[in-house]
Amino acid sequence: MQNQVLILDFGSQYTQLIARRVRELNIYSEIKPYNNPPKDLSAYQAVILSGSPYSVRAEDAPKPDLSEIKGKKPLLGICYGAQFLANSGGGNVAPSATREYGRAHLDNFKNGEVFLKDVSVNTQVWMSHSDTIKALPENGVLLASTEDVENAAYRIENEDTYGIQFHPEVYHTKEGSQILRNFLVDIAGLQQDWTPDAFVETTVAELKEKIGNEKVILGLSGGVDSSVAAMLLHKAIGPQLHCIFVNNGLLRKNEFHNVLDQYQGMGLNVKGVDASARFLGALRGESEPEKKRKIIGRVFIEVFDDESHQVENAQWLAQGTIYPDRIESVSASGGPSATIKSHHNVGGLPDYMKLKVVEPLHLLFKDEVRRVGKTMGMPEFILGRHPFPGPGLGIRILGDITPEKVSILQEVDAIFIEGLKKYGLYDQVWQAGAMLLPVNSVGVMGDERTYEKCVALRAVESTDGMTADWVNLPYEFLQKVSNTIINRVKGVNRVVYDISSKPPATIEWE
């Protein structure tokens, strides 16, 4: 693709949001680490420098070589990126008297600047920095200020190089998308043609070329990601795709048989494999979250290795890996951002498994996956399904896993999810589930004292899972669900509701 944007990552927590905002403009963007940029820059029409937790004044601060970019391609520096351009270009960056964090408002506009076209005077922006640009770089032209930040936006004379101290990618910057559009469309000349239809057409063609006449095994999970990946491959290679739906013993109540029937009704070539005893046996006695994830991932691969021998001459293993999986598992494209947790479908295969990996969705965020599925005419009951973690209930049962605990949590989860659907709340929630806590609490049922399990309910709203906020479910609904769980699920006498957001808390408890 020739119509795309390169985002150089300096380790900012907001880097992935930059990519999302650019893509929302129907312009393809990809993130690369500042210390390992693409050797061939010919495919990129514009470059964006992200923010960073570093100070440009520090000895170990990121200092990229921009000799093949600055002055040659449209370039936008955001926060640290703007400070780096100023500091390396003869300007002055110094500590702020106070940390500049939170809402601010742009004023002192430079009239007639395309970069600020259709942006309102006094528009709200979001600041997050402890250094500030005291003096602009050589040939710098001031574009806008705020009450506390004189050099909030600037450009370099005779170049398509721009710097902004604020973050246009976060929702708190009210007209951030317009600013990005001005830069990418009006200044860089990018076309807004990266749509779900275009993605399907391009991806199907690439899959046909990559796979040829070879056979592919794909692990279906019942979720949106693997389902959309399956349909893309089905469009590309038809009967060469062999789908396998594994029951790892950690699925929701009745999910194995219900979802298997749904897939077969969609025309997919799918085989159901009940490996629940194998998974639960491997997990016996293990309580450490990362080790549980690793075990589930290992057994998952072992099952697929066994099944691959049942498909003659299988050459490929397809996975529904999406962009946030990679971001949270291996840092931002190998850059300086922090790793949060491992995902069992990220990181390659063991040497003994002689299959190549194909990941049709590895550059998409969750909402983009849904739009691609809708473009292909997939049913809403698949696309509207809440995300469900690959390790399933294995990371919603805190501590060790037993068949009894799985059965308890399946019943609790079923009551919660069906309740959301019954009360018309399911589609207002991005993801919901129940957690079985490793504590017992005292209760009273009838005239008897009980000492039973506590479960936590969690429901969040989000766009892509990178950030999330808890959903303010009606008290009446929570009361009804709590009573139903305690009355119907033997072994549970207490229900709590999780009201923490991501960050600092992750969506899953493990």
Marked catalytic residue, from 30, 100, 169, 510: 169
3-state DSSP assignment of residue 281: helix
Identity of the amino acid at 22: V
The alpha carbon of 469 is separated from its chain's Cα centroid by a whole number of angstroms, namely: 14
Can you tell me the distance from the alpha carbon of 488 to that of 483, in angstroms, rounded to the nearest whole number? 8
257 classed as catalytic: no
Tracing tokens 């892509």 back to the chain, one arrives at 464
Separation CA 183–CA 160 (nearest Å): 9
Question: Nearest-5° angle of CA 262, CA 265, CA 270?
Answer: 75
Residues 390 and 85: their CA atoms lie apart, in Å, by: 42
Phi and psi dihedrals of 20, rounded to 5?
-65, -45
Half-sphere exposure of 144 (CA within 13 A, CB side): 28
Active-site entry in 79, 242, 255, 368: 79
Task: Tell me how far apart the alpha carbons of residues 272 and 32 are, in angstroms, rounded to a whole number.
Answer: 38
Question: Which secondary-structure segment (H or E) carries 453?
Answer: strand 448-461
Beta strand 4-9 with 44-49: parallel, antiparallel or unpaired?
Answer: parallel
What is the DSSP-derived secondary structure letter of residue 292? H
Dihedral sign from CA coordinates of 351, 352, 358, 359? negative
Options 30, 100, 129, 167, the catalytic residue: 167
- Whether 169 sits among the annotated catalytic residues: the reply is yes
167 a catalytic residue: yes
End-to-end CA distance of the chain: 38
- Asked if residue 316 lies in contact with residue 363, where contact means CB atoms within 8 angstroms, the answer is no
Neighbours of 488 (CB within 10 A): 12
Catalytic annotation, residues: 79, 167, 169
